[in-house]
C-alpha cells in the first residue's frame, strides 16, 4: 500500500471514528437518563430535553454547512467541530443543574449538524470515483458502531463510575479525533455552487419530499421510544444494571445485521427493503408497548433485536434513497435530510416524554409505534405512483418487478 493510499483510507477511517464519537456523544444521555435525572434532581422526561435541544439545534446548524464550506477549508472545519464537541462534553460533565447541562449540549449540537451535512461528502471527495460507495459506507458505519459499543459503554461507565466521568471520556475521544483528523486529512474545499437556488430546487422535488417525510416519521418514532429505553429496561422485574447494559449491546449488535442486510439487498430492492423494515420496526415497538417490561426478558431481547436491525437498515436505506435521487443537488439534499432527521428526533423525544408522563412507559412505546404507520402508508402510495427520475431507477429505488 502506497503512502497516498494509506493516507486516503486512513483519513476515511478517521472520519468513521469521528462519526462514532459524534453519535455516541449525541445519544449519551439516553443510556444515562436515570443517573443524570437523580443527580440533578430532575425527572427523566426533563433530562430527555438534552436530546431534544441537541437535535433541533443540529437541524438548524446543518443548513449552514453549505455557507460555512465557502469560508473555511474542510480539514480545518472538521477539526474545529471535534474541538467544539470536546468542549461541550467537558461543560456537560461539570453541569450542576438542567439549564447548564442544556447549554453545554447546545454547544455540541452546533458542531453536530454541520458535521453530518459535511462528512459523507468529504469522504467521497477523498477517494477514487469507483470507491465512493465504500467510503460512504465506512464513514456511516460509525453510527452502527456507536449504537453497538458507544452508548452501552457510556452506560457502563455511568453505572459503575458516574455519568460525569462518561462525559469526560467523550471529551477525550473528541480531542483525539481532532488530532487524528489534523494528521490524516488532506487540505480540501468541498465544491458547493448551488447555494440557495439548490435548496429551493431540492425542496420543490416531490420525490425528495417523500423521502424527507418518511425519514422524519421514522426518526420521530424511533427516538420517541428509544430515548426512554433505559427506564423501560430498568423496570423489568429483577433486572440488574449489568443486564440493562447487555441488552443495550444486543440492540446495537443487531444493527450490524441490519447493515449486512442493507449491503445484500439495498441496491436491487431499495423500496421493498425500506417498506419491510418500517413494518418490522412498527411491530417490534408496538409489541414492547403492549407487553410492557413484565412480559419476560427473552421476549423483550428478541423484540430489541428486531428493532435494532430494522432501524439500522432504515437509516442506511433512507440515506441511500436520498443520494440516489439527489443528482447535482447532493449537498443541499443531504443538508436538508440531516435537518429533517434531527428536527424529527427532537419532536419524537418531546412526544415520547409527554406520553411517558401521561400514560407511562408502555404508552410511550405504543405511541411511538403508531407514528410509523403514516410512513408505511406513504411508502406504499409513492411506490404505486412510481414516477421516479432515471438515476433513482438505476440505483434500484423503484418497486421490484420480480
* Local structure of 102: helix, strand or coil: helix
Alpha-carbon dihedral sign for residues 25, 28, 158, 240? negative
Question: Which of residues 263 and 265 earns the better pLDDT score?
Answer: 265
User: Does the structural domain 195-402 have CATH classification 1.20.1250.20?
Assistant: yes
Confidence of residue 376 (pLDDT cuts 50, 70, 90): very high
pLDDT score of 118 more than 50? yes
Q: DSSP letters along 125-178, please?
A: HHS-GGGHHHHHHHHHHHHHHIIIIIHHHHHHHHHHT-HHHHHHHHHHHHHHHH
CB 336 within 8 A of CB 345: no
Q: pLDDT digits over 281-318, tens only?
A: 999 999 998 988 888 888 999 999 999 999 988 887 88
1-192, what's its fold?
A: Growth Hormone; Chain: A; (1.20.1250)
CB 388 within 8 A of CB 270: no
Question: CATH 1.20.1250.20 spans which residues of the chain?
Answer: 1-192, 195-402
Query: And the C-alpha cell for 78?
Result: 472538521
pLDDT score of 130 more than 70? no
Alpha-carbon dihedral sign for residues 155, 156, 159, 161? negative
| Percentage of residues in the chain having pLDDT higher than 90 | 27
Of 395, 337, 334, 341, whose CA–CA distance to 122 is shortest?
Answer: 334
Question: Which of residues 398 and 167 earns the better pLDDT score?
Answer: 167
How far, in Å, CA of 320 to CA of 252, rounded? Answer: 21
Q: pLDDT digits over 154-209, tens only?
A: 888 888 888 999 999 999 999 999 999 999 988 876 555 455 566 777 777 888 88
Structure confidence at residue 400 (pLDDT): 35
Structure confidence at residue 81 (pLDDT): 95
How far, in Å, CA of 322 to CA of 188, rounded? Answer: 24
CB 166 within 8 A of CB 294: no
Average per-residue pLDDT for the chain: 81
Question: Which of residues 349 and 309 earns the better pLDDT score?
Answer: 309
Question: Which of residues 382 and 90 earns the better pLDDT score?
Answer: 90
**What's the first-to-final CA gap in the chain, in angstroms?**
42
- Mean predicted confidence (pLDDT) in 350-364: 79
Structure confidence at residue 191 (pLDDT): 54
How far, in Å, CA of 376 to CA of 205, rounded? Answer: 20
Structure confidence at residue 3 (pLDDT): 46
- Angle 67-73-75 (CA atoms, 0-180°, nearest 5)? 120
Structure confidence at residue 243 (pLDDT): 86
How far, in Å, CA of 184 to CA of 186, rounded? Answer: 7
How far, in Å, CA of 103 to CA of 363, rounded? Answer: 30
CB 53 within 8 A of CB 105: yes
Query: And the C-alpha cell for 357?
Result: 408522563
Structure confidence at residue 192 (pLDDT): 52
pLDDT score of 120 more than 80? no
| Percentage of residues in the chain having pLDDT higher than 70 | 87
Q: Which residue has the cell 408505511?
A: 376
Question: Which of residues 83 and 144 earns the better pLDDT score?
Answer: 83
CB 331 within 8 A of CB 194: yes
Q: pLDDT digits over 195-243, tens only?
A: 556 677 777 788 888 999 999 999 999 988 887 788 888 888 888 878 8
Q: pLDDT digits over 327-341, tens only?
A: 777 767 777 887 888
Q: pLDDT digits over 66-97, tens only?
A: 667 667 888 899 999 999 999 999 999 999 88
pLDDT score of 322 more than 50? yes
Structure confidence at residue 132 (pLDDT): 65
Amino acid at each position: 500500500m502506497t503512502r497516498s493510499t494509506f493516507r486516503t483510507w486512513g483519513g476515511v477511517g478517521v472520519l468513521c471514528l469521528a462519526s462514532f464519537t459524534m453519535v455516541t456523544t449525541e445519544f449519551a444521555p439516553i443510556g444515562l437518563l436515570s443517573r443524570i435525572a437523580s443527580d440533578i434532581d430532575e425527572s427523566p422526561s426533563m433530562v430527555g430535553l438534552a436530546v431534544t435541544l441537541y437535535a433541533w439545534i443540529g437541524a438548524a446548524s446543518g443548513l449552514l454547512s453549505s455557507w460555512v464550506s465557502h469560508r473555511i477549508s474542510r480539514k480545518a472545519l472538521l477539526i474545529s467541530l471535534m474541538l467544539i464537541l470536546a468542549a461541550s462534553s467537558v461543560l456537560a460533565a461539570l453541569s450542576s443543574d438542567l439549564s447548564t447541562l442544556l447549554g453545554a449540549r447546545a454547544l455540541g449540537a452546533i458542531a453536530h449538524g454541520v458535521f453530518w451535512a459535511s462528512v459523507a461528502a468529504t469522504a467521497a471527495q477523498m477517494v477514487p470515483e469507483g470507491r465512493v460507495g465504500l467510503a460512504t459506507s465506512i464513514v456511516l458505519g460509525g453510527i452502527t458502531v456507536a449504537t453497538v459499543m458507544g452508548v452501552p459503554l457510556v452506560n457502563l461507565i455511568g453505572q459503575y463510575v458516574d455519568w460525569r466521568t462518561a462525559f469526560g471520556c467523550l471529551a477525550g475521544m473528541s480531542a483525539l479525533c481532532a488530532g487524528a483528523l489534523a494528521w490524516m486529512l488532506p487540505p480540501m474545499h468541498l465544491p458547493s455552487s448551488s447555494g440557495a437556488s439548490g435548496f429551493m430546487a431540492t425542496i420543490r422535488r416531490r420525490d425528495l419530499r417523500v423521502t424527507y417525510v418518511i425519514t422524519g416519521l421514522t426518526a420521530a418514532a424511533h427516538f420517541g421510544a428509544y430515548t426512554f429505553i433505559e427506564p423501560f429496561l430498568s423496570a423489568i422485574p429483577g433486572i440488574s444494571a449489568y443486564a440493562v447494559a447487555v441488552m443495550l449491546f444486543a440492540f446495537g449488535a443487531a444493527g450490524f445485521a441490519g447493515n449486512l442486510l442493507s449491503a445484500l439487498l439495498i441496491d436491487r430492492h431499495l423500496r421493498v427493503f425500506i417498506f419491510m423494515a418500517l413494518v418490522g420496526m412498527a411491530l417490534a415497538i408496538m409489541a414492547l408497548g403492549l407487553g410492557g417490561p413484565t412480559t419476560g426478558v427473552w421476549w423483550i431481547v428478541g423484540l430489541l433485536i428486531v428493532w435494532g436491525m430494522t432501524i439500522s437498515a432504515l437509516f442506511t436505506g433512507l440515506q441511500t434513497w436520498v443520494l440516489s435521487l439527489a443528482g447535482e443537488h447532493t449537498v443541499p439534499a443531504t443538508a436538508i435530510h440531516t435537518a429533517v432527521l434531527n428536527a424529527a428526533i427532537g419532536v419524537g423525544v418531546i412526544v415520547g416524554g409527554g406520553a411517558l408522563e401521561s400514560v407511562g412507559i408502555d404508552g410511550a412505546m405504543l405511541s411511538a409505534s403508531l407514528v410509523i404507520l403514516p410512513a408505511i402508508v406513504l411508502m406504499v402510495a409513492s411506490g404505486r405512483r412510481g414516477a421516479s427520475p432515471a438515476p433513482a431507477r438505476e440505483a434500484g429505488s423503484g418497486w421490484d418487478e420480480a
